[in-house]
């Protein structure tokens, strides 16, 4: 059983909804809650209001991520904002040698997905011509790690020395710093260290682009710096939490720096949103996904969720989803005030890699997991395994099959084994690994947690647990500074 969109994108839930898993009767009993969830998300789409949602300072806050796929003059994404992003592309192409993206949470995880899908592991090893004139890309600010920060700085200084020696010019490095406030410890500590060290290098020309809160009446720290220093600016808009921000300037600035097709990405998200306008759960992939996961957890004790894409460059998508699921649904209090923790523990896996690492646990461990597979139906590039060692019969047996076919055989075998063992799974199929289908999938997952928040009666758009540790860190940092 599956829902398949006109694009070919599909959500196959056969191994999650059947007589031995979540049943059709359980889904039917959920109908009143599903109706309420659809109505609530309909209100969110129309005016950005989610019942009971407050910002971290306790004031009402709109939720606007569902607006992002639609390009319009009065929306966060407009022809003007896309033109501004195109200016960034034009600015870096054939001029900037390297971009260092500095961000954490959604400001790193979403950007990493776009980079991995578009560029892959060996992007920086390609020539500028092979990259279409686009710069090398590095990531920082996602951890406060002094060794890796040192290594990044030394690597860029080494490249600068080569540039000076071979090309007789400076290395141009752009720091893309992403923080709504400019006070994010992880990001800004890395930014200041990298900025300071590279500024000292006579072989490096350093530039900064700030992605931050656009409010000019009460400018935040990074906004003030950007205005004072004359840095180009892009927006971290109100109403879009970090885990949903890949569809706005936060993620799209990275897209602009690598030539990722922003319009196709948003078009895929828009097509998914349009497919999810129906209140018929059997035709709405995000709603059905939310309902089945909710029931699997509440009725069947499946409170762990494994996201297992089959493809190396989709591991970062799994990591992005981990934040989305954990911060959206891992809540200790229902909106009714009931102290009743909710949420599933998310787990990153990659096929086939983790078939040799985690699958033993998936297959024979506690019956507490839902495994989600992501598969690509048509790989742009493929290889037939050659029979290069005919004297080795065991190797000859696998010759003649394409790598993509072998990958799918492995995934299907994993799914079948899980089903036979009473384990729950589902699969998302992308017709191709491109911007459009990536937009479909990422938006479906984002919308799905919004629906599930309504089913579980939790606020899917706040993160009080994150604010709790931040309150403790402030005094701790002050004490650490005094000790030093």
> Mind telling me the catalytic residues?
327, 356, 470
CA–CA separation, 307 and 323 (whole Å): 12
Burial track 12-34 (b if 16+ CB lie within 10 A, e otherwise): bbebbbeeebbeeebbeebeeeb
Whole-angstrom distance, CA of residue 297 vs CA of residue 304:
8
Nearest by Cα to 277 from 39, 27, 62: 39
CA atoms within 13 A on the CB side of 42: 9
**113: closest CA among 91, 137, 85?**
137
The residues that bridge with 11 in the sheet, in sequence order, are 3, 428
Q: What are phi and psi of 384, to 5 degrees?
A: -90, 130
CA angle 49, 53, 57 (to 5 degrees): 125
């Amino acid at each position: 059983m599956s829902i398949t969109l006109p694009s070919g994108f599909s959500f196959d839930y056969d191994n999650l909804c059947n007589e031995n898993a979540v049943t059709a009767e359980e889904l039917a009993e959920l109908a009143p809650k599903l109706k309420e969830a659809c109505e609530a998300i309909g209100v969110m789409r129309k005016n950005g209001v989610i019942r009971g949602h407050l910002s971290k300072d306790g004031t009402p806050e709109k939720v606007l991520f569902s607006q992002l796929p639609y390009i319009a003059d009065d929306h966060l994404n407009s022809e003007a904002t896309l033109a501004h992003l195109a200016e960034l592309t034009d600015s870096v192409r054939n001029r900037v040698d390297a971009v260092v993206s500095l961000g954490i949470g959604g400001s790193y995880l979403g950007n990493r997905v776009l980079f991995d899908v578009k560029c892959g592991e060996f992007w920086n090893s390609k020539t500028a011509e092979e990259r279409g004139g686009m710069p090398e890309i590095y990531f920082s600010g996602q951890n406060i790690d002094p060794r890796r920060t040192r290594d990044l700085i030394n690597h860029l200084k080494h490249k600068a020395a080569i540039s000076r020696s071979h090309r007789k010019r400076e290395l141009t490095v752009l720091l893309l710093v992403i923080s709504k406030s400019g006070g994010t410890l992880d990001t800004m500590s890395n930014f200041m260290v990298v900025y300071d060290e590279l500024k000292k290098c006579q072989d490096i020309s350093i530039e900064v682009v700030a992605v931050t809160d656009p409010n000019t009446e009460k400018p935040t720290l990074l906004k003030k710096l950007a205005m004072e220093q004359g840095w180009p600016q892009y927006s971290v808009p109100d109403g879009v939490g970090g885990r949903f921000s890949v569809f706005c300037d936060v993620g799209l600035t990275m897209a602009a720096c690598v030539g990722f097709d922003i319009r196709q990405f948003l078009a895929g998200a828009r097509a998914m949103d349009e497919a999810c306008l129906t209140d018929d759960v059997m035709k709405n992939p995000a709603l059905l996904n939310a309902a089945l996961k909710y029931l699997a957890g509440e009725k069947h004790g499946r409170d762990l969720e494994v996201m297992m894409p089959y493809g190396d460059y989709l591991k970062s998508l799994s990591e992005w989803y981990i934040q989305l699921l954990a911060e959206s649904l891992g809540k200790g209090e229902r909106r009714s005030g009931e102290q009743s923790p909710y949420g599933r523990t998310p787990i990153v896996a990659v096929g086939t890699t983790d078939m040799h690492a985690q699958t033993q646990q998936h297959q024979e461990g506690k019956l507490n997991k839902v495994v989600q597979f992501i598969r690509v139906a048509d790989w742009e590039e493929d290889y037939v395994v050659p029979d290069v060692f005919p004297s080795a019969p065991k190797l000859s047996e696998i010759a003649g099959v394409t790598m993509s076919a072998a990958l799918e055989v492995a995934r299907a075998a994993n799914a079948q084994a899980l089903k036979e063992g009473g384990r729950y799974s589902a699969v998302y199929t992308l017709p191709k690994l491109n911007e459009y289908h990536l937009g479909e999938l990422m938006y479906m997952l984002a919308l799905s947690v919004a629906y599930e928040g309504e089913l579980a009666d939790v606020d899917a758009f706040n993160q009080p647990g994150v604010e709790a540790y931040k309150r403790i860190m402030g005094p701790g940092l002050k004490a650490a500074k005094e000790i030093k």
